[in-house]
Copies of this chain bind each other. A is one copy, B any other.
Amino acid sequence: MMVLEGPAANGMGKSIAGRLSCDFGKIEHKLFPDGESYIRMPPVIGDSFAVVQSTYAPSEKHLVELLFMIDALRDMNKKEITAVVPYLAYSRQDRRFREGEAISINTVLRLLADSGIGRLITVEPHRKEPFSSFSGKYTVIDPVEKFAEVLSERIKSPFIIATDEGDMERAKRLADLMECDYDFIEKERDPDSNQVSAVSSINSDLSGKEAVIYDDVISTGGTIELAAKIAISNGAAKAVAVASHLVMAGNAYERMISAGISEIYGSNTVPFSRCHVIDVSGLIAETLVSE
């Protein structure tokens, strides 16, 4: 297998190839003066390829670049292609709240399936349901064990908090691995302003505990801010945030710090340096060589 690293791989292609001791190539990339992307494949070796390209912002550019790369490989008559998309954009646009809304994740998954890839690998999307209509082979990586391993070394009296009742399963998995309790806050999001507010709070006493607020994606930090305030008012000694994908839009970092978050943990699916980076390229490498 040859691992090809796209311009939005955050260095993970090289790391994956290193772990697998396989061939590696960096895809040439530049921008034309009008902003369009130039993509050129390096000399390729063999018949089986993993193209690594995350789709953090600008999401649509990174997605379209990935499709250019796949087509360029197919133009070389290469057919065994796995797309590794560590952070899958539009994963949260998975439901129609109002008539006429685009369920954008369905389009993104259709584009990837239609591109003719043999397999899609991604790290913990917002929900798995949209994948049920994915016409190709796919693997969704759950990084929770890796997170538990790193967190267990640093957090001694953890208490896991999910930021949505629907995320309780995720929180429970982390809590089981860290051998601690968990609970959730229920939030409400205003569809116009995108502001979150608490609907129900946690009943647990967090005195002396280190609250570990666990989410899949941190975007504005609004949900984490809310959860941090609730945790602290329930007696938590400190509050840390953990997320698979640190999208960190706008002033999310400052907002979370102001709300009392003392540490942020996240994977390297999205480049964000002001956190404890948990490298998930090993999980991707293992997945690539598994069935």
**Chain A contacts to B: CB under 8 angstroms:** 28, 32-44, 57-61, 63-65, 67-69, 71-72, 75-76, 89-90, 93, 96, 98-104, 106-107, 110-111, 114, 194, 219-220, 247, 249-250
Q: A39-B104, A64-B64, A72-B100 are in contact. List 19 more A-B contacts (CB 8 A).
A: A33-B250, A34-B59, A34-B249, A35-B58, A36-B90, A36-B104, A37-B60, A38-B93, A40-B98, A40-B100, A44-B100, A58-B58, A58-B60, A60-B60, A60-B65, A61-B61, A71-B102, A71-B106, A72-B102
Distance between A252 CB and nearest chain B CB, rounded to angstroms: 8
Do the beta carbons of B71 and A36 come within 8 Å of each other?
Answer: no
In angstroms, how far is the closest chain B Cβ from the Cβ of A242? Answer: 18
A219, B34: Cβ atoms closer than 8 Å: yes
The chain B residue sitting closest to A89, CB to CB, is B36
Find chain B residues with CB under 8 A from A38 CB: 93, 101-102
Residue of B42, B103, B250 touching A100 (CB-CB under 8 A): B42
Contact status B33-A194, CB under 8 Å: yes
* Contact indicator B61/A60 (Cβ below 8 Å): yes
> How far, in angstroms, from A77 to B225 measured CA to CA in the complex?
41
CB-CB nearest 4 A-B residue pairs: A41-B100, A60-B64, A68-B102, A39-B102
Taking CB as reference atom, which chain B residue is nearest A250? B33
Could you list some 17 contacts between A and B, CB below 8 A?
A: A32-B194, A32-B219, A33-B249, A35-B58, A36-B57, A36-B89, A38-B93, A40-B98, A43-B99, A44-B100, A61-B61, A68-B107, A71-B103, A71-B110, A72-B103, A111-B111, A114-B114
User: Which residues in B have their C-beta under 8 angstroms from that of A65?
Assistant: 60
Report which residue of A44, A64, A103 has the largest number of chain B beta carbons within 10 angstroms of its beta carbon. A64
Bound-state Cα–Cα, A40 to B111, Å: 19
Give Cα A114 to B65, complex, Å: 17
